[in-house]
Chains A and B, each alone.
Chain A
Amino acid sequence: MKMVSAVIKHFRLDNVRKALTDIGVEGMTIIEVKGFGRQKGHMEVYRGVEYEVRFLPKIKIEVAVSDDKLDKVVDVIQEAARTGEIGDGKIFIYNLQDVVRIRTGERGEEAI
């Protein structure tokens, strides 16, 4: 099992959610995060005082997947989140040791 953790632009979230549910993904978690990459920050001006905003707001989505679905999920996220502009984000993939469904106590892929 793998944990797919993707940092994406806010306005692509609906696209990504729809694309993932279309291929049968049954759950995901999202977190509002801030960070920077190659896009860096931007300038904001308040009454003539300039501030460099170094951390930009992004959405991080986390999806637990079985190994056989991994490639499909990663492809779908990349396609749905992509605008082609700098700042589209990144997808991180981790090994996922175990999953427990709290209601039933099922474990592993059964619980995803």
Chain B
Amino acid sequence: MMRRGVSAVVTPAVAVLLVLLASGSAFAAEASGIDTGDTAWILVSTALVMLMTPGLAFFYGGMVRSKNVLGTIMHSFIILCIMSVVWVLWGYTLAFGPDIGGFVGGLKWLGLQGVGQEPAPLAPTVPHLAFMMFQGMFAIITPALITGAFAERMKFSALVVFTVLWATFVYSPVCHWVWGGGWIGAKLGALDFAGGTVVHINSAIAAITAAVIVGKRKGYLQEAIMPHNLPMTILGAALLWFGWFGFNAGSALTSGGLASLAFVTTNTAAAAAAMSWALAEWGHRGKPTAFGAVSGAVAGLVAITPAAGFVSPLSAILIGIGAGIFCYLAVNVRPKIGYDDSLDVLGIHGVGGLWGALATGLFASTVVNPGGADGLFFGNPSLFMAQVLASVATIVYSGIATLIILKVVDWTIGLRVKEEEEVEGLDLSQHGETGYNL
């Protein structure tokens, strides 16, 4: 009350002056080594990557039947919320805390203690808080990607528990291996610019494991289970593409030339892959589909992710073309094998991510980025072997750990909705609402 009385007598002009002085002194007091340009770019990139998860919600939401649209969107949206909090509490420190045996980060930064405006060694020109939040957005989208595998049949409570466990026991350790000072990044020397192994291979292997454990949707390959709103899917893909500039170019962790290179390779690969998928489809089935073109774009974005800052734009075209064709082949194989990875997480993120990780081992060039390494095509087979090893390690660990987590959730609360609820749809049975009331 007293303070209020005092502030009331301060004229607006003086208040403005005080604010200006305060901000001026804040700049003057900026921690040494911080680059404001880098910081601005990382904060913008963080917001861009945040938008990818709602984008993914639309991408997936359009592909399911209308009775599951809200349930599917809610998977991504609630993961955005859960992971934002988990990352602050313990996710970040498990991924980036002081290395313990190359496997996981220590608890030094539990609850973000000591994570402040001073830079940390992994990103010496931006505040530690900005680096933490940028990485947090990756921790959010990775479990959200998995949800495509068990769409239209997962129990909501099971999804919540699975997400917390998976983030803790799979995402954070694998992230630590590659980026947090763990064995893949620090010792093996494998390259992963923005998350080919950590995000895409990791989520895709978890996804196929979940698709098998949760089981097929009722009526899969017998009834017509068609996408209910492909324009929504296309909007989602567009948001993913837009956000991916933050994902890849932001992973430079600076705002200079390397970010520009990653920006260009990202856009180029996405475009090349969209065209190669559509062309493959045109040749194979007679018509290029809109769904195919946007799926191809996402496949290209996935594939360029590990390579973005290590390859030339011309290599990005080749990586994109490969992604479109390989992922198109993969989704065509899915119904023949008969497993129900409903929204093709394995076909796009697994195949695209693996291709990208291997392609990094082929096309990486120190002419493009002296901080990277040369790939097989530039005379260095050891990088290619490191890429293979990093991919295999991620596949094995993610597969086994995800299997254990799924079994624990299944035995305790059950993974799948009742048959009656599945027929009714997740929107009504899990959330008590419907997406469209016309």
Contacts and interface: CB of A to CB of B under 8 A. Distances in A.
B23 interface: no
A55 B400 CA distance: 44
Contact of B331 (A47, A52, A53): A47
B291 interface: yes
Nearest to B343: A47
For A44, A45, A47, A53, the residue with the greatest tally of chain B CB atoms inside 10 Å of its CB is A47
B107 to A, nearest CB: 43
A49 B226 CA distance: 9
A49 B57 CA distance: 22
B226 A44 contact: yes
- What does DSSP make chain B's interface, helix, strand, loop or mixed? helix
A48 interface: yes
Contacts of B292: 47
B295 A53 contact: no
A51 interface: yes
Contacts of B333: 48
A46 interface: yes
Interface residues of B, number: 18
A48 B291 contact: no
A33 B331 CA distance: 33
Contacts of A45: 285, 289
B332 interface: yes
B224 interface: yes
Contact of A51 (B226, B331, B344): B226
B98 interface: no
Nearest to A49: B335
B334 interface: yes
Contact of B291 (A46, A51, A52, A53): A46
Contacts, number: 30
Interface string A42-62: 001111111111000000000
A59 B102 CA distance: 66
Nearest to A45: B285
Nearest to A55: B224
Contacts of B295: 47
Contacts of A53: 224
A47 B226 contact: no
A21 B333 CA distance: 54
Nearest to A51: B224
A49 B292 CA distance: 12
B227 interface: yes
Contacts of A48: 328, 331-335
A81 B344 CA distance: 42
Contacts of B227: 46
A46 B233 CA distance: 12
B335 A46 contact: no
A45 B227 CA distance: 11
Contacts of A44: 226
A47 B226 CA distance: 10
A53 B335 CA distance: 17
Interface string B290-306: 01100100000000000
A53 B223 CA distance: 10
Interface string B216-233: 000001001111000000
Interface string B332-345: 11110000000010
Contacts of A50: 335
Contact of A52 (B224, B225, B328, B335): B224
A49 B220 CA distance: 11
Q: Which one of A44, A46, A48 has the greatest number of beta carbons of chain B within 10 Å?
A: A48
A50 B224 CA distance: 9
Nearest to B220: A49
A47 B224 contact: no
Contacts of B221: 49
A48 B291 CA distance: 11
A51 B332 CA distance: 13
Interface in B192-230: 221, 224-227
A4 B225 CA distance: 36
A54 to B, nearest CB: 8
Interface in B311-333: 328, 331-333
Contacts of B285: 45
A41 to B, nearest CB: 10
Nearest to A47: B331
9 contacts: A44-B226, A45-B289, A46-B289, A47-B292, A47-B344, A47-B347, A48-B334, A50-B335, A51-B224
Please provide the 10 A-B residue pairs with the shortest distance between their CB atoms, ordered closest to farther. A48-B332, A51-B224, A47-B331, A48-B331, A49-B335, A45-B285, A51-B226, A46-B227, A47-B344, A46-B291
Given A47-B332, A48-B328, A48-B332, 11 more contacts: A44-B226, A45-B289, A46-B226, A46-B289, A47-B292, A47-B344, A48-B333, A48-B334, A49-B334, A51-B225, A51-B226
